[in-house]
Structure 1
């Protein structure tokens, strides 16, 4: 990556520059870029050594990354993240610092201890969505779902439970849904039936399933509206999506938690139900009753 002549002056400008130059970065720098965009709060409050340990990239590489973007060192780049955090919701910075201390101090390795660790992280992820997801994106996505003739869903590996939930709720709301199931290797062929009057809803996290990425890119070339849930604005789904919901992945030692993506999926469908039922007070999701 060629050095930047003038360093970005604010967080938004920095993120735009990272997006513009991501493809030309080395693998190590791309890993740093992903960490910075996915964990802005951690970057604001943690030391470069702690960030290096969390990301699996040596701290010195973060320093060189910052210098390549025109900063004297990592602290100067970090100050942009700190300024961003200081203007977030009241008490947000204190909550993040408390979370960091709570997780770092945990010594209980029992079954309950593991559950507590996951719950604490999930709470942080859920609260992050309140400050990081633009309300206009939620409204735009719900409008696309409302107007779609059919909603095609695709998500594989860890993303499968999210699209299965979406299929269930959207079907119960009376929307025509097609799950692009990987079984039989037909998902790509089924996706070619998507029309411009439909919507493709894709869910994918690192390490992104190739078939999901290919289907999204092909749908974008056919000018099909796309809603995507992923883990970063640097996700391969980002460039094709009309609406991208980036739900950052916190440090999970076992597997990604789906608490935040599931909550987001439910929020979208509840908002859709409110429109379809003309009931913003108490929209309901019909349930399957026994025969």
Structure 2
């Protein structure tokens, strides 16, 4: 990556530059770029040595990365993340620090202790969601779902439960939807039936399923609108999506949680339900009751 002569002066400008330069970065620098975009709060509050240990990239590489973007060192780059955090929702920083203290102090090694650890981490990820999702983008996603003739749903591996939830809610709302099920190897062929009046809702996280990425790219080439949930604005889904929701994934002891993506999926469909039912106060999923 060629050195940048003028360093970005705010967080948004920095992220735009990282996106523009990502393809020309080395594998090591791409790993740093992913960490910075997925963990902005950690970057703001942790030392470069701690960040290096967590990300698996030597701290000196973070320093060189910052210098390649025009900064004197990592601290100057880090100050942009600190400013971003300081202007977050009121009380957000204090809540995050309290959660970090609770996570760091866990001494209960029982099964209940594991559950407590997972719950605390999910609380932190949900608070990140409140701070990271643009209300205008959420509204735009609901617009696209409302306008679509058919909504195609795509998610494999760990993403599958999210699209299964979407299929259930959309079906109960009376919205036509098609799950691009990988069973039988037909997902790619089924996706070719999508029209520009339809919508593709794709979900994928590291390590991105190849078929999901391929279907998304082919759909974008045919001008099919795409809403995507992924883990980073540098995700391979990002360049194709009309609306991308980046839900950063934190390294969990056992696995990465789906709490935040599931909550986001429900928020989008709740917004759609409110419009269909003309009820912004208390929209509901219709239920089947026994006679």
- What TM-score results when the alignment is normalised by the length of structure 2? 0.98
Aligned to 2:85: 85
Structure 2: how far apart are the matches of 1:289 and 1:28? 56
Offset of residue 194 of structure 1: 0.2
Query: Counterparts of 1:196 and 1:242 in 2: how far apart (Å)?
Result: 13
Runs of 4+ in 1 over 3 A off after TM superposition: 288-291
Q: What corresponds to 2:287 in structure 1?
A: 287
Q: What is the aligned-residue RMSD (CA, Å)?
A: 1.0
Q: Deviations over 1:242-265 (max 9, x none)?
A: 000000001212211000000011
Q: Could you tell me which residue of structure 1 aligns to residue 33 of structure 2?
A: 33
Which runs of 5 or more structure 1 residues have no equivalent in the other structure?
Answer: none
Counterpart CA distance in 1 for 2:133 and 2:215 is: 25
Partner of 1:244: 244
1:150-203 Cα offsets, whole Å, 9 max, x none, are: 000000000000000000000010011100000011000000000000000000
SS in 1 for 2:146: helix
Which residue of the partner structure matches residue 273 of structure 1?
Answer: 273
Cα shift at 1:107: 2.5
Pair 1:74-2:79 in alignment:
no
Report if aligned partners of 1:45, 1:97 keep a CA contact under 8 Å in 2: no
Which structure 2 segments of 5+ residues have no match? none
Give the secondary structure class of the aligned counterpart of 1:283.
Answer: coil
Question: What is the alpha-carbon distance in structure 2 between the residues aligned to residue 2 and residue 116 of structure 1?
Answer: 46
Deviation sequence 1:40-95 (CA, Å, 0-9, x none): 01100111111111111111111111111111111111000001111111122222
67-76 or 87-96, larger mean C-alpha shift: 87-96
- Partner SS state of residue 153, structure 2: strand
Aligned to 1:17: 17
Displacement, 1:290? 4.8
Counterpart of 1:214?
214
Other-structure match for 2:148: 148
Q: Structure 2 CA distance, aligned partners of 1:7 and 1:98?
A: 33
> Which residue in the other structure is 1:169 paired with?
169
**Aligned length, in residue pairs:** 291
SS, match of residue 201 in structure 2: strand
Pairing 1:120-139 to 2, within 5 Å after superposition: 120-139=120-139
Cα deviations across residues 22-54 of structure 1 (Å, max 9, x unaligned)? Answer: 011111111110110011011001111111111
1:188 maps to 188
Residues 40-55 of structure 1: matches in 2 within 5 Å? 40-55=40-55
Q: Distance in 2 between matches of 1:171 and 1:195?
A: 20
TM-score by length of 1: 0.98
Matching of residues 111-126 of structure 1 within 5 Å: 111-126=111-126
Q: State the SS of the aligned residue for 1:113.
A: helix
SS of 1:269's partner is helix
